[in-house]
Structure 1
Amino acid sequence: MSTTTPETKTVLVIGATGKQGRAFIRSLLFPPSASTPSSPTSTTFPRSQAENWQVLAVTRDASAPPAQALLEEVKQHNVTSQVSLVEACLNTPSTLRAVFESHPNIYAVFVVLAYPGLGTPLTAQKEKAQGTLIADLAVEFGIKIFVYSSTIPIGPDPSDGIDESRKQKREVEYYIEDLGKKNPGLKWIVIRPGFFYENLEGMFGAIGATMYRDGLKKETTLTMVASEDLGRVVAGLLQNPEPYINKFLCVTSGPVTMREVLEAHKRATGKPMPAAPGFVGWILLKINKGAQDLVKEAEINHANRMSGKLPNFEEEVERAKSVCELQTYEQWKRNLVSGEAGGDEMSRRGSNDGRRASTSNWNNLSLMKLLTGRS
């Protein structure tokens, strides 16, 4: 009896060495076993098809530690032949164009643009130019599926946001949507991730938790998600894109208050969530504009959701959940604890990445910048 060799599809990942890009590559090429009790399982895409994919991982410098760490990880999982590093600078259009020209059979593009940093001024923002450039190239080179990672809107209008990066992401969304209307061959999907659980890990996570605990109203909810779940969602979208073409997905397990997060942490670990001394949170909220803006945006987003000014929010959340199961914070933390003890490998890998990032850097800030109010 003859067997049919599955079609090989190539996906270009922009932001491949970051939290979202790494989570996506893991889920696509070496997801945790569906038989692992603590691992969420997909509801739409068959894991047996993972071997059909080739990943082109875009990086500015293939010799840099993040790029080499990605290669080491894929080597450990025996999928080295499925991942290739390609160098390009998003601020130099000719280098990105060269990638498309050198790989004419790209099926899909997944775009995660680097966050420029908390409080970065508008003059330093380049996300809109980068995002529109990539979308134009996707049309020009006939890319079948274009997935763009944005952010959950603060309100119905981009001006509702304070952070310039968030505003520019919304502008890129509008550009993609309009581009799709002019070019029906472009099949786009916009994902809108919530605040990552991993951002509450490590020293900077403790500072962030303290800031939200002390700065938010008790009833204010945050939209949160695990980065590994974001990776599962995007992998699922590429395996079964048709139901989600030209749609938005808010990727969050559901809004929760900071008090609920703290209680979930204690249930999952038996210990209170690590927190910074109260005066640290007080200093942040008094002198650091970036921190102030994060809290303000969380309050505005909560108010808009509660008042119905984001009428599509629940629909977009359910749309993401239809792709795969999304962990609550408590489930994620329990998996993390068991992973550190040798259990769920995906939880261990994802949290370790998050811990390294949050220990040395949180939203591209240093501890000195946070406590002196500098952006």
Structure 2
Amino acid sequence: MASRKILVVGATGKQGGAFVRAATEARKAEGAPKDGFHLIALTRNTSSPAARELAALGDHVSVVSADLNNANSVRKVFEDEKAKPEGGIWGVFMVLAFPGLGVDGSGEEAQGKLVTDLACEFNVQQFLYSSSDRAHDSRDEHATLSHLAKVNIEENIKSKQGLSWTIIRPVYFMEIFEGLVGRVTFSVVRSGLKKDTKLQLVAADDIGRIAYAIMRSPDAYAGQCITIAGDVLTVRGMQDAYGRGAGSAMPAVPSMLASGITAMNKHIRGVVETMEDVHAARVEHGISSEDLIAKSREICPEMHTFESWAKVHSSKAEQTSGWNGVSMKSLLSGSL
């Protein structure tokens, strides 16, 4: 069976890396490359530690360089693969870097549309885009910044005649509660959310597994927008689940510090408000979180709950830089 090439855009990030690892784990478990995939891991810097780790996974992974802000360099990747005897790129898994809290998303939108347009031009057979959860499409008209970029990228994908696509919309990463920044994040959430507000959560590794499963059976998910969730919990529920999994209390900082950070950082206040809005939208539109989780588990039965994730991740070393590049300095200074 000839290899089917999958271009992984954002391969050195959490989701892209998880996709490559999921494919690698499946090859090892099956004892043979039954899927016939060859992964083209796209990165700006092929000599970075993350890129070298991907290259070391095996000969089913090739690491290539391109700058998503340079159309010619991305086009060259498609052209180079098409020129090879085994043929061009069969599939694309696209994850784009979050520009930052409060940052304009026009660059992200341009990158997404560039990759989508090239995929159409070069007759890519399967296109999988990892967007973000927005609770309900009726909220799209109020989208701004990166959320608006994702809405527009999705619309561009859907407009392409002849392109077979699937869009996944992950909810909040469990990883936002890792390390030192995670302590602050949890404390901000604990002090800012209502007691009955529920958060949908997903482990980054599970997004990679779901993306890989979709690529293996693309026809089953073609033309669908799928919310990816592994657990849904109130703040109290998160504390209880973490305690059961880790055997210790969920790490946090004093409530007074969390309240101070929230008061002086409008972007953090915006995150908390969005969490409340998403919960309210699900209630308003009768969207069952349990149904969303069940759909995700149909695709990937081994998805983590917050409890099982905490059991594995609670021993991770403290970090000074957290989710989406947020640092302690940016939290404390009020700038992100």
Calculate the TM-score normalised by the size of structure 2: 0.91
- 2:101·2:267 contact (CA, 8 Å) conserved in 1? yes
Letter in 2 for 1:68: R
What residue ranges of structure 2 are gaps of 5+ in the alignment?
83-87
Pair 1:244–1:229, CA change in 2 (3 A): same
Residue matched to 1:256 = 233
Distance in structure 1 (CA, Å) of the matches to 2:173 and 2:327:
19
**Residue 365 of structure 1, CA deviation:** 2.4
1:360 to 298, 317, 321: 321
What's the CA shift string for 1:329-350, capped at 9, x where partnerless? 112222446xx6xxxxxxxxxx
Residue matched to 1:111 = 94
Distance in structure 1 (CA, Å) of the matches to 2:292 and 2:91:
22
Pair 1:149–1:360, CA change in 2 (3 A): same
What's the CA shift string for 1:235-277, capped at 9, x where partnerless? 1011111110010111102421121111101111221011012
- 1:154·1:160 contact (CA, 8 Å) conserved in 2? no
| 1:264-303 superposed matches below 5 A | 264-303=241-280
- 2:42·2:66 contact (CA, 8 Å) conserved in 1? yes
Residue matched to 1:97 = 75
1:10 to 5, 16, 22: 5
1:329 aligns with 2:306: yes
Percent sequence identity is 34
| 1:42-57 superposed matches below 5 A | 49=33, 52-57=36-41
What's the CA shift string for 1:5-34, capped at 9, x where partnerless? x33111100000000011110111124987
Q: Which has the higher contact order (CA 8 A, sep 6+)?
A: 1
Partner SS state of residue 138, structure 1: helix
**Residue 157 of structure 1, CA deviation:** 2.6
Distance in structure 1 (CA, Å) of the matches to 2:28 and 2:312:
14
**Residue 143 of structure 1, CA deviation:** 0.4
Distance in structure 2 (CA, Å) of the matches to 1:298 and 1:47:
43
Partner SS state of residue 75, structure 2: helix
1:143 aligns with 2:127: no
Residue matched to 2:64 = 86
**Residue 313 of structure 1, CA deviation:** 7.3
| 1:26-175 superposed matches below 5 A | 26-31=21-26, 49=33, 52-72=36-56, 74=57, 79=58, 81-104=59-82, 105-120=88-103, 122=104, 125-155=106-136, 156-161=138-143, 164-175=145-156
Q: Kindly tell me the number of residue pairs found equivalent between the two proteins.
A: 329
Distance in structure 1 (CA, Å) of the matches to 2:31 and 2:236:
36
**Residue 145 of structure 1, CA deviation:** 0.4
Partner SS state of residue 360, structure 1: coil
**Residue 49 of structure 1, CA deviation:** 4.1
What residue ranges of structure 1 are gaps of 5+ in the alignment?
1-5, 35-45, 341-351
Distance in structure 1 (CA, Å) of the matches to 2:290 and 2:156:
23
1:200 aligns with 2:181: no
**Residue 317 of structure 1, CA deviation:** 4.7
Partner SS state of residue 233, structure 2: strand
- 2:214·2:221 contact (CA, 8 Å) conserved in 1? yes
| Cα RMSD after superposing both structures | 2.3
Residue matched to 2:85 = none
What's the CA shift string for 1:325-371, capped at 9, x where partnerless? 2221112222446xx6xxxxxxxxxxx6xx68x53233222212211
Distance in structure 2 (CA, Å) of the matches to 1:367 and 1:334:
25
Distance in structure 1 (CA, Å) of the matches to 2:168 and 2:208:
11
**Residue 196 of structure 1, CA deviation:** 1.1
**Residue 319 of structure 1, CA deviation:** 3.4
Letter in 1 for 2:45: D
Partner SS state of residue 38, structure 2: strand
Residue matched to 1:223 = 200
Partner SS state of residue 55, structure 2: helix
Distance in structure 2 (CA, Å) of the matches to 1:289 and 1:302:
20
